[in-house]
Amino acid sequence: MSGHQAWSTVRSFSRDPRVAQQKLAVGTWRRVFGCARPYRAQVIVFLGLVVLSSVLMVLTPLLLRQLIDEGVTPGDRDLVVRLSLSVAGIAVLDAVLVLIQRWLSARIGEGLIYDLRTQVFDHVLHQPIAFFTRARTGALVSRLNTDVVGAQRAFTSTLSGVVSNIVSVVLVVVAMLVLSWQVTLGALLLVPVFLLPARWVGGHLQRLTRDQMNLNAELGTRMTERFDVAGALLVKLFATPARESAEYRQRAGQVRDVGIRIAMGNRFFLTALTLVASLATALVYGAGGLLAIEGSLTIGTLLALAALLGRLYGPLTALSNVRVDVMTALVSFERVFELMDLRPGIVESPDARDLPEGPLDIELEDVHFTFPSAQEVCPASLDPRTEPDPRTEPATRHGEEVLHGICLRVEPGQLVALVGPSGGGKTTLTHLVSRLYDPTSGAVRLGGIDLRSATLGSLRAAVGMVTQDAHLFHDTIRANLAYADPGADENRMIQALRASLIWDLVESLPDGLDTVVGDRGHRLSGGEKQRIALARLLLKAPPVVVLDEATAHLDSGSEAAVQQALDHALAGRTALVIAHRLSTVRAADRILVVDGGRIVESGRHAELLARAGLYARLHRTQFSVGSD
């Protein structure tokens, strides 16, 4: 038995046997074969070569038998030469077949990985924002890595292994029975002697492997959290590097200990398998040797039996666990399909039309909104906590209305500010205007067109949004700006940066536009990040701008700079602005006070102060606090 077969057998017995009892969703098999349809010709050729290799594997011992019995023993030199050349030719042919199989396997496997990854990635990007607020990022990434790779193995290692092992076992057993049924039965009697302890060792290895995966995942999570800028800053601020190092050593030690136990378990498994194969070989030579002495067997037949025996135990033991292997691959497929079956929350209507060009008005007509339930947006495997946690999520976000009959209109070029207590529905309202969600009832219109009837491309081009935590990718300033308009040249980028009052800083950096901003832009200050985000917005040049508390967490100096940049960004555009600091919206054309999912007040700054309502109370509270 080859080393590759031995290690494949170890991996097979190390897999979780409980997976074999898992029930697959209806239609899984059909969908699996559907994924392989573009590669069906290559799969057929690949399996044909696998079968041919198995035949050649059995043919070689039979030719050696003939070489000894009909060539060496009688002294037929010509036959010895011809058969030796035949054995050499089979070895060369088998080597060529192995290379072709590997090439086809790589083509099929990598093609499947490419197809599944691109399809899943594209599908995930079209999920509603609620999906990303619930799904665990690590589990989601695992679907595109571990599960996708596990799925492709169904058509490479698992499929080829099953076919190869079945053909090999059948051919080897038939050939051995023809050569000597007595010796064959004796060799087969040793199989249970190996399989019973192998299953026990396999179960032990499976538990250790699961522990190792969990420990490695915890170790990886810990490193990710501590190596993140915010995590590293927290460690330093609380002066805990020594404690962190001690805890890391303790967890890394657990991984080391489990790794040693797994290594010893694998070696025990392989040693047992080798021992049984050696005992079987001793049995063949012992029993076969006696039969040869009696004249019942020839020397060539005895050697052929010994050679065939070495090709029997690996495939035979692997087939004893084939159901687990197949189900492991199919479960990976099912986990990928689970993602693919998620329905995108925002879909484009078949008869969608582009939004008109130029200035656009915003209109919300009797808008009601209820957040979708967890079950609607995210499978439990990605978010085990399917019920809202009242400590972190308000109950009204699930199953209860959060917006109640909102009606408003923003004229083209007008600036309307949204203010009010936290949790009142301001951000939700702006998400509807950006069509991150669709209203439960009512309509949201831009330029007179219901957003559900507009093309998503024209909508994304028409609406630009800057949040209070402006996100920048771990890339250059140039790349972050180009995300808004990949075709923008350097001059346009510089103009946008000038308008955002950040060009002087960018120009002073050693690498200028090619400066890497770091993870989430941490190499820049909050105000600098916001101005880069505003430059990105200006580069996009949308007619409608939505700002979600863009100056909420800035100091006075940064706020003043960002506010001045905002004046440039909003000039001539229809704007809907959420304001945390009321001082930033005094000049708004209209201020809407949102509370409890309703617009409770509307007017200009002076009018709302004169009414002595909620706005006046918020203004009084904020400025009295600010004056202390």
The answer to the question of residue 477 being in a domain is: yes
pLDDT over 70 for what percent of the chain? 84
Q: Is 544 left (phi over 0), alpha (psi -120 to 50) or beta?
A: beta
Sorted by sequence, the CB contacts under 8 Å of residue 137 that are 6+ apart come out as none
Task: Tell me the C-alpha to C-alpha distance, in Å, between residue 437 and each of 127, 129, 360, 378, 502.
Answer: 10, 8, 20, 15, 33
- Number of domains, the chain: 2
∠ CA 320-322-323, nearest 5°, is: 110
Q: What pLDDT is stored for residue 451 in this prediction?
A: 92
Q: Identify the residue whose tokens are 């040793």.
A: 190
Please write the tens of the pLDDT for every residue from 71-129. Answer: 888 888 888 899 999 999 999 999 999 899 889 888 888 888 888 888 888 888 888 88
pLDDT at 265 over 90: no
Among 149-158, 191-200, 206-215, 536-545, which stretch is predicted with the lowest mean pLDDT?
A: 191-200
What single-letter amino acid sits at 13?
F
The answer to the question of residue 353 being in a domain is: no
Please write the tens of the pLDDT for every residue from 487-521. Answer: 889 999 998 888 888 888 888 988 889 988 877 77
| Residues 524, 236: Cα–Cα separation, whole Å | 19
Contacts 24+ apart (CB under 8 A), 608-613: none
Question: Same structural domain for residues 379 and 322?
Answer: no
- Rounded to 10 degrees, the C-alpha dihedral 272/274/278/280 comes to 70
Question: Same structural domain for residues 309 and 381?
Answer: no
Q: What pLDDT is stored for residue 197 in this prediction?
A: 65
Q: What pLDDT is stored for residue 121 in this prediction?
A: 86
Residue 23: which pLDDT band, with cuts at 50, 70 and 90? low
| Residues 221, 29: Cα–Cα separation, whole Å | 35
The answer to the question of residue 580 being in a domain is: yes
Mean pLDDT of 306-329: 75
What stretches of 341-436 show up as alpha helix (H) in DSSP?
374-377, 426-433
Q: What pLDDT is stored for residue 368 in this prediction?
A: 93
Q: What pLDDT is stored for residue 557 in this prediction?
A: 61
Q: Report residue 151: phi and psi, to 5°.
A: -65, -40
* CATH code (residue 527): 3.40.50.300
Domain assignment of residue 163, given as a range: 3-340
Question: Same structural domain for residues 293 and 368?
Answer: no
Cβ–Cβ < 8 Å for 582, 419: yes
- Rounded to 10 degrees, the C-alpha dihedral 387/390/393/397 comes to 70
| Residues 265, 276: Cα–Cα separation, whole Å | 17
Please write the tens of the pLDDT for every residue from 368-404. Answer: 998 887 777 777 667 655 444 443 344 445 567 889 9
| Residues 357, 544: Cα–Cα separation, whole Å | 11
The closest of 161, 117, 115, 164 to 143, measured between CA atoms, is: 117
Question: Same structural domain for residues 179 and 218?
Answer: yes
166: Cα within 13 Å, side-chain hemisphere: 8
**Which token pair is 489?**
């040249």
The neighbouring-strand residues paired with 409 are 363
Question: Same structural domain for residues 109 and 166?
Answer: yes
DSSP for 420-434, written as a single string: -STTSSHHHHHHHHT
Question: Same structural domain for residues 235 and 190?
Answer: yes
pLDDT over 90 for what percent of the chain? 12
- Dihedral sign, Cα of residue 348, residue 353, residue 357, residue 363: negative
What stretches of 37-127 show up as alpha helix (H) in DSSP?
40-66, 77-125
Residue 240: which pLDDT band, with cuts at 50, 70 and 90? confident
| Residues 537, 401: Cα–Cα separation, whole Å | 32
Q: What pLDDT is stored for residue 491 in this prediction?
A: 92
Q: What pLDDT is stored for residue 449 in this prediction?
A: 93
| Residues 324, 20: Cα–Cα separation, whole Å | 5
Question: Same structural domain for residues 462 and 606?
Answer: yes
The closest of 453, 465, 482 to 356, measured between CA atoms, is: 453
| Residues 300, 302: Cα–Cα separation, whole Å | 5
Cβ–Cβ < 8 Å for 38, 346: no
Please write the tens of the pLDDT for every residue from 572-592. Answer: 789 888 887 776 677 788 999
The answer to the question of residue 351 being in a domain is: no
Mean pLDDT of the chain: 80
Cβ–Cβ < 8 Å for 535, 497: yes
The answer to the question of residue 349 being in a domain is: no
Measured in whole angstroms, the distance separating CA 399 from the mean position of its chain's CA atoms is 29
| Residues 625, 470: Cα–Cα separation, whole Å | 27
pLDDT at 365 over 90: yes
Question: Same structural domain for residues 457 and 606?
Answer: yes
Last residue of a domain, one of 306, 340, 374: 340
Please write the tens of the pLDDT for every residue from 154-201. Answer: 777 777 788 888 888 899 889 988 888 888 888 788 777 766 666 666
Task: Tell me the C-alpha to C-alpha distance, in Å, between residue 605 and each of 58, 418, 559, 588.
Answer: 91, 12, 20, 8
Question: Same structural domain for residues 28 and 79?
Answer: yes
The answer to the question of residue 355 being in a domain is: no
Among 13-17, 102-106, 434-438, 564-568, which stretch is predicted with the lowest mean pLDDT?
A: 13-17
Cβ–Cβ < 8 Å for 69, 300: yes
| Residues 131, 562: Cα–Cα separation, whole Å | 31
Question: Same structural domain for residues 333 and 421?
Answer: no
Question: Same structural domain for residues 336 and 374?
Answer: no
Most confident among 125-139, 209-223, 605-619 (mean pLDDT): 605-619
Residue 237: which pLDDT band, with cuts at 50, 70 and 90? low
Question: Same structural domain for residues 492 and 621?
Answer: yes
Length of the chain: 628
pLDDT at 254 over 80: yes
Provide Rg for the chain, Cα atoms: 35
**Which token pair is 379?**
């499978």
Q: What pLDDT is stored for residue 443 in this prediction?
A: 94
* CATH code (residue 118): 1.20.1560.10
**Which token pair is 415?**
């600036």
The answer to the question of residue 348 being in a domain is: no
| Residues 582, 231: Cα–Cα separation, whole Å | 33
Cβ–Cβ < 8 Å for 297, 180: yes
3-state secondary structure of 591: strand
| Residues 549, 468: Cα–Cα separation, whole Å | 5
**Which token pair is 319?**
């087939």
What single-letter amino acid sits at 517?
V
| Residues 485, 496: Cα–Cα separation, whole Å | 12
Task: Tell me the C-alpha to C-alpha distance, in Å, between residue 38 and each of 34, 41, 42, 493, 554.
Answer: 8, 8, 9, 43, 54
Residue 96: CB atoms within 10 Å:
11
The answer to the question of residue 345 being in a domain is: no
**Which token pair is 522?**
């941490």
Mean pLDDT of 355-371: 90
| Residues 273, 186: Cα–Cα separation, whole Å | 17
Q: Report residue 352: phi and psi, to 5°.
A: -65, 150
| Residues 182, 187: Cα–Cα separation, whole Å | 9
Task: Tell me the C-alpha to C-alpha distance, in Å, between residue 345 and each of 387, 404, 419, 623.
Answer: 19, 21, 28, 41
Encode 204-229: b = buried (16+ Cβ within 10 Å), e = exposed: bbbebbebbeebbeeeeebeeebeee
Q: Identify the residue whose tokens are 């080597």.
A: 95
Mean pLDDT of 294-307: 86
| Residues 611, 351: Cα–Cα separation, whole Å | 47
| Residues 283, 191: Cα–Cα separation, whole Å | 13
Mean pLDDT of 3-30: 55
∠ CA 253-256-257, nearest 5°, is: 90
